[in-house]
Amino acid sequence: MKILVLYDYPPAPGGLATQGDLLYHGLLAMGVDAKAAHLKSDLEKEWYYRWFKPDAVVGVGFWGDYPDIVQHPQSFGMTAVPWLLADGYVANYRQELNVLPLILVTANWVKETFVRDGIRGDHMVVLPVGCDTDAFIPRAADDPKVRAMRGILGVSPDQLLVLTVGGDAASKGGREVMAAMAQVREEVPDFRYVCKVWPQPRTEVQNALDLELARELGMKDRVSFPTHRVSRDLMPYLMAACDVYAAPSRLEGFGMPQVEAGACGKPVIGIRAMAMLDTLVDGETAFLAGVAHANTVTEAVLGPAAGYPPDTHVIFDRPRVADYRASVPGIAVALRKLLNDPALRQRMGAAGRARAVERFDYRLVARQLVAILAEHLGMP
């Protein structure tokens, strides 16, 4: 079997790029003849079509990437198999997606979202995102690289570190976590809350809002928002440096950092919704706070990224859930339990590690892909 994988290649340290790169390397590790190309590089894609002649072109993206990961390979007679996230609403390409023989999605919640928005579900198969369980491993607190990371983050040896990682903190539930911390700060050992975020204009705006909330909550001395570009080489040590990973995300199509934290032996705080129902086990690998509120929208303004002219106004036939908010009291209960009980953190972290290895190792995901292509498309 020959497979061409389309994603942000060579990979930047973002979620979709990492998702594609782990699939590509997983295929290589199992001996599949695989190549990788950037999803938007038409010249390079055509070059591979002409001489490599792949049996399948697997494209990693969201539904709006349809022209690059499905339409383009199909125009050259290739079998295109998209591996898609959902971003809350499938606004376009429904008819085109419905006639495909196979669509891969990252979680059951993504499949449910696609079906809700008019995509038939009988040709959709859930393929989870892979995790590099060789890099994301439990590490001792006295590991010099872990000590260095905690020192850079301003965490003293006697403090507990609660960590959130994302493009910005609010989208990963950071504001709800801060509010919960303010409720429990007198009931738990000394801690710091670090939100590692990505430098971009929207993050700068959100950081300012989040810092203001920290001041209002009396938490400004316990919270920080390091805003830096980092490589994937750093991430295993960042995860290993924390004691609890907290990300009750507002919108989550898989939750790669939650799985990576588990692979590092760290307990997770999430939300009882979306893809975290697939990736985390409440009370075993994580504590899942309940949903306090689901924000719905009745209309949206769409543009070229969705395949529409600029400023296209779309009115939904029924309200759509745009995102969720986790229960602050629920997060507070989880923080109180985890920060006060080292044995519980150890036990849940060990369960998270076992689950990551057994279900999300990137080589296992590659094997699942090959099996899916054989079963659904009859590929050898």
Whether 94 contacts 119, CB under 8 Å: yes
Based on the fold, state whether residues 235 and 155 are members of the same structural domain: yes
The two tokens of residue 236 are 């295993």
Cα separations (Å) of 380 from 56, 102, 369?
Answer: 11, 16, 12
Residue 214's SS3 state is helix
Q: What is the pLDDT of residue 225?
A: 97
**Grouped pLDDT means (10 residues each) for the chain, 380 residues:** 97 93 98 98 98 98 95 98 88 93 97 93 97 98 97 96 97 98 97 97 96 97 96 97 98 96 98 97 98 92 88 86 95 98 98 98 98 94
Based on the fold, state whether residues 118 and 253 are members of the same structural domain: no
138, part of any domain: no
Whether 349 contacts 339, CB under 8 Å: no
96, part of any domain: yes
Based on the fold, state whether residues 369 and 331 are members of the same structural domain: no
Question: Which residue reads 């290895």 in tokens?
Answer: 357
164, HSE (Cβ side, Cα atoms, 13 Å):
27
Into how many domains does the chain fold? Answer: 2
Q: What is the pLDDT of residue 45?
A: 98
Residues 6+ apart with CB under 8 A from 110: 84, 85, 86, 126, 253, 254, 275
- Tell me which residue of 152, 173, 170 sits closest to 161, measured CA to CA: 152
- Tell me which residue of 19, 313, 321, 253 sits closest to 11, measured CA to CA: 19
Sheet holding 2-7: strands in order across? 33-38, 2-7, 56-62, 80-85, 103-105, 124-126
Residue type, 89: Y
Question: Which residue reads 């150890």 in tokens?
Answer: 346
- Tell me which residue of 319, 261, 286 sits closest to 136, measured CA to CA: 261
Based on the fold, state whether residues 295 and 313 are members of the same structural domain: yes
Based on the fold, state whether residues 347 and 368 are members of the same structural domain: no
Based on the fold, state whether residues 288 and 367 are members of the same structural domain: no
**DSSP category for residue 358:** I
Range of the domain at 38: 2-130+361-377
CATH of the domain at 242: 3.40.50.2000
Q: What is the pLDDT of residue 124?
A: 97
Based on the fold, state whether residues 241 and 306 are members of the same structural domain: yes
Residue 361's SS3 state is strand
Whether 17 contacts 39, CB under 8 Å: no
Strands (E), 167-228: 191-197, 223-224
Based on the fold, state whether residues 152 and 94 are members of the same structural domain: no
